[in-house]
Amino acid sequence: MDDRLHKTYFPDDNIKNESHVRSMEQYKEMYERSISDPEGFWKDIAQQFYFKSQPQGKFLDFNFDVNNGPIYIKWMQGAVTNICFNSLDRHVQQGNGEKVAFYWEGNYPGDAGQISYAELLRKVCKFANVLKANGVKKGDRVAIYMPMIVELSVALLACARIGAMHSIVFAGFSAESLAERMQDGEVSILVTADGSWRGTKLVNLKEISDKAMEICAGKGQQITTCLVAKHLSATEETPVRNGTVVNDGGDCIDEATSEPGVRPCQHLKVNWTEGRDIWWHTAMASASEDCECEWMDVEDPLFMLYTSGSTGKPKGVLHTTGGYMLYAATTFKYVFDYQQHDIYWCTADVGWITGHTYVCYGPLLNGSTSVIFEGTPFYPDAGRLWQVVEKYKVSKFYTAPTAIRSLMKYGDSYVTKYDRSSLKVLGTVGEPINPEAWVWYHDVIGEGRCSIVDTFWQTETGGHTVTSLPGCTPMKPGSASFPFFGIKPTILDENCKPVEVGQEGYLVFSQPWPGIMRTVYGDHQRYETTYFKKFPGYYCTGDGAKLDEDGYIWVTGRIDDMVNVSGHLLSTAEIESALIEHQSVAEAAVVSHPHEIKGECTYCFITLCEGLEFTDALVSELKAAVRSKIGPFAQPDVMQNAPGLPKTRSGKIMRRVLRKIARGDKDVGDISTMADESVVELLFSLRPDC
């Protein structure tokens, strides 16, 4: 047994001595107050922010119990503020306008730029005016489908400034997924870019956007304006890219290249619909730099972000202004132990909640300097992340276990050739981290001197909920450890009884924290059913967890029909429905399956229509169907021919049996309720090599 996987690691003195929380006693004291006096705790924190008017009446008002009427959560009622003002204007007014807000690092090493707080504010005001000129008003939804460029943050902050809700769709989603989200969100304006390079792959965002707008139009929904940032095609009239001057290094060639190190730069031709499509730079050229904030009630919606739902239809998770602001800022400050001189880098895409909270709002609310990275960890080679760490002297770094696992495979030399002495805190998020990857992160990346923060949270929670803190928490590899301030976790069994130490149960939270989602856009009932119905009085995360004898929380993964592929939650029902749409497929059942790099992957059992053959060509078609319906990142890993599926007599597919078959585990458990037991043997005999 490798001792390093099971021992407890203590924060280094250098980190402890400068941190906001330096001992477990201090943590416990603050935590106790946050639970027993949440109003007082968060009221003190709210002092740091600007409010146009102060809260009146109850600072916290809520109902967490479905049996007591509708679920609602209201923090700081009556207060009026603007999160964009608090993220930008406040720092500029305090004399920090020249501080760098973002370093932008492009896909190709050498494509880089930077933007100060003052400059960012100027651009945000201009773009806010562009949105207004195109009819966007407070409460409207704006869809954003963009790569990791400064304009993405500009678009998001501009929406917040004028009180429009942003609905960002990750740029890896397909046209159909983008269309579905635009329809559900009832948007009429889309902000996108011409395209983006990810490693050696070109993503033609405008083409995908065109297709999505066409799908919407076919369903009677007109997207009346499409603003397009010109990112790939830096031309003479636009010698700047991403709003920042580019250090143009390397050869520029005009077509896709797969040669590492050669800058792939393509003058992408885009189709144009006059009257609808508008170039970002054209609109910005004439926009005014003055834009007064829309003063928002703290409970006014700030944004919605879609997340997979177990029924297959994505849910528009809705966050409001004031509570989200407090929570994003506070978790960022304590969990990364933010200090003035830090250079912070979160590798997540802004299209996911991690990017919303920890690339944009959290860092900006704290006035920090951070890196935005458009590329991938593997381009031009597996040392890219550490090269960027060296270049900017990154001190706080945040990434996903799947990235760590895949980089581990390339060996240590890609890491050690770069100087990582600036690093202090290393964060992980998205899925449970296996102790092997944790130890590699700690020992090799962090040279044994950095604190690791394993942060458990969700799109729904707005910010970190269970996490270690860099200066105080003794770290156990694989455990997210203790609740953040304001989070009161319990682990329950099916009957709503707390489980014993060491037993697995449902991870639930029994008190509202400021960053909790307030509703599902357009479907409050779904919000109540999904998160509050199973355990009245609690918010149910949908994750399993255990407590150990020292009180550490160990999150074990989803308990519902969701799969966590490389830190992205996917619904098995959504993949099944994409497969069933194929004319050759009679039935499909998708289950989660362990995967060395991705953590989990999807394993699909396919029942073909009578008389059809299960061929490689068909498998490729089915994979392509999922790519086009959901997006490339959702492509299934394993497809198995399943002439029959294990079902109960009432016709319900027995997924726990399918999970066993997928793993090749003959111990399938009780199958007495199965309609036709012979199916199990048949499926074992048809397992592909994987």
Residue closer to ligand WT7, measured from CB, 194 or 454: 454
Stretch that binds ligand WT7, among 13-21, 189-197, 347-355, 493-501 (CB under 6 A): 347-355
Taking CB under 6 A as the rule, does residue 145 contact ligand WT7? no
Residue closer to ligand WT7, measured from CB, 105 or 460: 460
Cβ–Cβ < 8 Å for 358, 348: yes
Cβ–Cβ < 8 Å for 306, 143: no
Strand partners, 193: 229
Taking CB under 6 A as the rule, does residue 600 contact ligand WT7? no
Contact pick of 167, 225, 459, 481 for ligand WT7 (by CB under 6 A): 459
Taking CB under 6 A as the rule, does residue 107 contact ligand WT7? no
Q: Taking CB under 6 A as the criterion, which residues in 547-566 touch ligand WT7?
A: 555, 557-558, 564
Taking CB under 6 A as the rule, does residue 374 contact ligand WT7? no
Taking CB under 6 A as the rule, does residue 569 contact ligand WT7? yes
Q: Taking CB under 6 A as the criterion, which residues in 488-547 touch ligand WT7?
A: 541-543
Stretch that binds ligand WT7, among 153-161, 204-212, 351-359, 651-659 (CB under 6 A): 351-359
> What number of other Cβ atoms are within 10 A of residue 30's Cβ?
16
Taking CB under 6 A as the rule, does residue 457 contact ligand WT7? yes
Contact pick of 244, 368, 458, 566 for ligand WT7 (by CB under 6 A): 458
Stretch that binds ligand WT7, among 125-133, 457-465, 653-661, 676-684 (CB under 6 A): 457-465
Q: In angstroms, what is the minimal distance from the CB of 226 to ligand WT7? A: 27
Rounded CA-CA distance 415/403 in Å is 13
Residue closer to ligand WT7, measured from CB, 407 or 433: 433
What are the structure tokens assigned to 386, written together?
Answer: 């550490």
- CA-wise closest residue to 353 among 390, 282, 304: 304
Residue closer to ligand WT7, measured from CB, 465 or 635: 465
Cβ–Cβ < 8 Å for 375, 323: no
Q: Report DSSP letters for 261-316, one per residue.
A: TS-B---------TTTEEEHHHHHHT--S--PPPPEETTSEEEEEEE--TTSSPEE
The H or E element spanning position 158 is helix 150-162
Rounded CA-CA distance 287/158 in Å is 13
Q: In angstroms, what is the minimal distance from the CB of 462 to ligand WT7? A: 9
Rounded CA-CA distance 632/625 in Å is 10
Residue closer to ligand WT7, measured from CB, 215 or 597: 597
Determine if the peptide bond prior to 512 is cis (ω within 30°). no
Rounded CA-CA distance 644/586 in Å is 10
Instruction: Write the interaction track for ligand WT7 spanning residues 294-313; mark x where CB under 6 A is met and - where it is not.
Output: -------------x------
Residue closer to ligand WT7, measured from CB, 344 or 457: 457
Q: In angstroms, what is the minimal distance from the CB of 565 to ligand WT7? A: 10
Cβ–Cβ < 8 Å for 653, 670: no
Cβ–Cβ < 8 Å for 141, 165: yes
What are the structure tokens assigned to 550, written together?
Answer: 């020292």
Say which amino acid occupies 19.
Answer: S
How many Cα atoms occupy the beta-carbon half-sphere of 525 within 13 Å? Answer: 0
Q: In angstroms, what is the minimal distance from the CB of 560 to ligand WT7? A: 9
Residue closer to ligand WT7, measured from CB, 316 or 567: 567
Given the rule CB under 6 A, which residues bind ligand WT7? 307, 352-354, 429-432, 454-459, 480, 541-543, 555, 557-558, 564, 567, 569
